[in-house]
Amino acid sequence: AFVAEASPPPSPLIPLSGWSVDPRYTNSSYVLNSTESSLSLQLNATDIDSRVTIRHLDVPKLNLSIYDYVTVRVEGSGNARILLRFFLDDGTGFDVVYWTDPDALNATTFDLSPYSGRTLRGDVYIGLKSSDGSTADIEITEIAFVND
């Protein structure tokens, strides 16, 4: 008799569509394009203090006990500096990256073990700054919670 083996569930993806700008943490002009397949953000910086912050307020409220790490696939300009912050059900948060460049973010496998027992609150923020005060851009094609 044929017995089907259960395959592991796919890694939950954070939606790439439905993002909006948070004006509290944005002080320069920007271009935001948020679709099902990619999230692109361009900061038209005027100096090194320029930034744009976007947020998604309806991400899955994942139980972090069942995921091992977060991965992100991103491309961007060499001067882009990225912040990626999730918030937990108790109001605290964690930064997958804190003002790092796209290559470093791609190489990051963010360990979720310290957050076992916690649940995502449902909001996530991405900040973009420029290391040299000129235009910076990123394109994210995946933000995934992975269970090995």
Segment 62-102, tens digit of pLDDT: 999 999 999 999 999 999 999 999 999 999 999 999 999 99
Largest pairwise CA distance in the chain = 68
CB 136 within 8 A of CB 42: yes
The model carries a pTM of 0.92
112 is written with which tokens? 């979720």
Which amino acid type is present at position 107?
A
Is the model's pLDDT at 5 over the cut of 80?
no
Mean pLDDT, the chain, whole residue set = 94
Percent of the chain exceeding pLDDT 70 equals 93
What residues does 74 pair with on adjacent strands? 140
